[in-house]
Amino acid sequence: MLGLMLVQMSSMRDALADALLELGAKDPRVVVLGADTSVSIKTSLFADRYPDRFFNVGIAEANMIGIAAGLALAGKIPYVSTYSAFVPGKCLDQIRNAVAYPNLDVKIVSSHGGVSVGPDGASHQTIEDVAAMRAIPHMRVVVPADAPATKALIGESWKTPGPFYIRLSRPSVPEVYSASPDLKIGRAKVLKEGTDVAIVACGVMVNEALEAGESLAKEGISAEIVDCHTLKPLDSDTIVSVARKTGRIVTAEEQNIIGGLGSAVAEIVSGSYPVPISMVGVRDTFGESGEYKELMAKYGLTSKDIVRAAKKLGAAR
Amino acid sequence: MEQAQIPIGMLLQKAVKIRTHILEMLAEAKSGHPGGSLSAVEILVSLYFYKMRHDPKQPAWPDRDRFVLSKGHAAPVLFATLAEAGYIPVSELKTLRKLNSRLQGHPDHRVPGVEFPGGSLGIGLSAAIGMALAGKIDKNDYRVYALLGDGELDEGETWEAAMAAPKFKLGNLTAIIDRNGIQQDGLTEQIMPVEPLAYKWKAFNWHVLEVDGFDLRQIIEALEKAENMRNRPTVIIAHTVKGKGVSFMEWDPAYHGKAPDKDTVKKLVESMRNQ
């Protein structure tokens, strides 16, 4: 089987570097800040090309966000990037007061989110970042599914004034999209039409959702698959319409189910068109060291977990 | 030579007016922070009515010098100064801390002339660095001033920023520390000692100056010296007195965050006018 499938794997970090180089060429207001992780997440490529517009602040995330706020106040568009283990956790106050409150054009691109970062262990596996960012007014929250989506959505963030939290994952994942997909902030993408259950996913879980859709199809269950890359503002029209169409929703995310995508979907659906929702995600527990796929299996973040959730909701032909 | 041109009389008058506004607006609001507002009056007067290049009619003028009030609880001194400079009507000052007012308890970016919402301590110097970096990228010679509290220096981010500014050779940045010696819980040297303060900043590679924070000539002279440093940020440690100008507030930590009542303020304002 594997031999027949042509799966293109690619890394979100490469896409981040690509996107920043393009934005840097297009707009001299674009500046990039790093905190001693820029070689790892490849923003150093921007530093090489535009040394006057790259600032490495050392291991000082709070200062980095504060400096970004100042740059934005003086007319720049700062892209701030490091590991999600440190941003937003070490600088929530600076993000809240210096960036979000004055609604500044600061784009936070946080890499290595979730448990998929792997062997670094729980200290480096962020599971609460999305919930924290979602709860701050003005902040937009975006979790791309793959490298092409990462590049496209970072490009879109440049067009949309105001603060962003864009969360990337470390592993290379199969490409869901071909190059330059037409993705818009705040508009979920229906990847596959279906009638029995809707699977609404974000980030690396979109791949798992597509795989789950195929497994369900083999059992005669038709799943609608939605890439909900923007968690805030949530595309409530699409979410309510898939609720009406399928009558049951499984959400899938690589973070704590408290406050993440599942919560966001429930906030909308419960008031507009209540249907049962089953949430696949980290169940309020810290991670641990291990390889990407091992961790995804142990913490219930695979296509099998999505299939199980769909069936539990009574999805049947 | 330069000092001869300083309009000291006008600046002193502004200082009296701003102190009066601070007391009246706090009495009207029935809450707020008088101590650290009164200690910073001469610093803001020196900047807004002498040193800074700014235009109240164009708060977003790209070439303007920027002032970041990092110790945001001293919002009354900033609002009173902006009103005296013509950014906002003096009559608006009495809306401080009231519902639907632009004059929030801590500076809000919606107020013309407010450059940064410095409510949470420790962030302002970082933001000032960002503005100074942008000035360098744009080859614009505007200057950036950040006023920090001495209690605020307890915040770790201040020292992250203190390390960064010399790295980026920000000669266009001047930090001013309102060294009034008092923070909310008591004396800074008891709560969290910051001395030897000048040595700390020297060790962080800053150009360090110390002045009497109520002596307009000294403050202005230091601001001029800071401007002559091309590639190095300057910190001016301004020795002040918390609650300056109101005898019963001076040196009393209780007046960090306690507003005087209206009757008391009426008497205080009369005595200030008669001085």
- Tell me the pLDDT tens digit for each residue of A153-167: 999 999 999 999 999
Q: Is residue A53 within 8 Å of A30, Cβ to Cβ?
A: yes
CA distance B217 to chain A (A): 30
Residues A108 and A215 in one domain: no
Strands (DSSP E) contained in B39-195 are 66-69, 144-149, 173-179, 182-183, 186-187
Residues A165 and A204 in one domain: no
Do the chains contact at A70 and B116, CB–CB below 8 Å? yes
Q: Model confidence over A50-88: pLDDT tens digits?
A: 999 999 999 999 999 999 999 999 999 999 999 999 999
Do the chains contact at A97 and B120, CB–CB below 8 Å? yes
Q: Model confidence over A206-245: pLDDT tens digits?
A: 999 999 999 999 999 999 999 999 999 999 999 999 999 9
CATH code, A279? 3.40.50.920
Residues A194 and A159 in one domain: no
Mutate to test the interface with A, among B125, B137, B204 (most CBs of A within 10 A): B137
CATH code, A107? 3.40.50.970
Give me chain B's average pLDDT, please: 95
Interface of A with B in 90-149 (CB under 8 A): 93-94, 96-98, 101-102
pLDDT at B3 over 80: no
Residues A121 and A239 in one domain: no
Interface of B with A in 150-179 (CB under 8 A): 156-157, 160-161, 163-164, 168
Residues A70 and A147 in one domain: yes
pLDDT at B2 over 60: no
Residues A91 and A45 in one domain: yes
Residues A25 and A105 in one domain: yes
Contact of B119 with chain A, judged by CB distance below 8 Å, is answered with yes
pLDDT at A179: 85
How crowded is the C-beta side of A193, counted as CA atoms within 13 Å?
1
Q: Is residue B169 within 8 Å of B232, Cβ to Cβ?
A: yes
Q: Considering chain B, what percentage of its residues have pLDDT values greater than 70? A: 98
Q: Is residue A104 within 8 Å of A130, Cβ to Cβ?
A: no
Domain-terminating residue out of A142, A174, A206: A174
**Inside any domain, residue A3:** no
Q: Is residue A262 within 8 Å of A253, Cβ to Cβ?
A: yes
pLDDT at B4 over 60: no
Q: For residue B132, list chain A residues with Cβ-Cβ distance below 8 A.
A: 70
Q: Is residue A277 within 8 Å of A306, Cβ to Cβ?
A: no
How crowded is the C-beta side of B244, counted as CA atoms within 13 Å?
25
Rg, C-alpha atoms of chain A: 19
Residues A216 and A103 in one domain: no
**Inside any domain, residue A184:** no
Count of structural domains within chain A? 2
**Inside any domain, residue A180:** no
Q: What is the ipTM of this complex?
A: 0.96
Q: Label residue B95 by pLDDT band (50, 70, 90).
A: very high
DSSP A2-45: GGG----EE-HHHHHHHHHHHHHHH-TTEEEEESS-TTTTTTHH
Mutate to test the interface with A, among B120, B123, B136, B144 (most CBs of A within 10 A): B123
In a 10 Å sphere around its CB, with 0-12 CB exposed, 13-18 middle and 19+ buried, how is residue B92 labelled?
middle
pLDDT at B113 over 70: yes
Do the chains contact at A74 and B160, CB–CB below 8 Å? no
Out of A128-137, A247-256, A301-310, B253-262, pick the least confident.
Answer: B253-262
**Inside any domain, residue A246:** yes
Contact of B109 with chain A, judged by CB distance below 8 Å, is answered with yes
CA B50 to chain centroid, in Å, comes to: 14
Domains and CATH numbers, chain B: 2-274 (3.40.50.970)
Q: Model confidence over A248-306: pLDDT tens digits?
A: 999 999 999 999 999 999 999 999 999 999 999 999 999 999 999 999 999 999 999 99
Q: Label residue B270 by pLDDT band (50, 70, 90).
A: confident
Q: Is residue A54 within 8 Å of A80, Cβ to Cβ?
A: no
**Inside any domain, residue A221:** yes
Query: Active-site residue A61, yes or no?
Result: yes
pLDDT at A1: 39
Domain-terminating residue out of A174, A203, A238: A174
DSSP A219-269: TT--EEEEE--EEES--HHHHHHHHHHHS-EEEEEEEESTTSHHHHHHHHH
Per annotation, catalytic residue among A22, A61, A175, A288: A61
pLDDT at A108: 98
Q: Model confidence over B221-245: pLDDT tens digits?
A: 999 999 999 899 999 999 999 999 9
**Inside any domain, residue A183:** no
Residues A303 and A231 in one domain: yes
Q: What is the pTM of this model?
A: 0.96
Q: Could you give the C-alpha distances from A275 to A225, A267, A269, in angstroms and in order?
A: 16, 12, 7
Mean pLDDT throughout A85-105? 97
Mean pLDDT throughout A184-197? 98
pLDDT at A4: 53
pLDDT at A317 over 70: no
Could you tell me the residue range of the domain that residue A211 belongs to? 189-312
Q: Is residue A44 within 8 Å of A34, Cβ to Cβ?
A: yes
Which DSSP symbol is given to B214? Answer: T
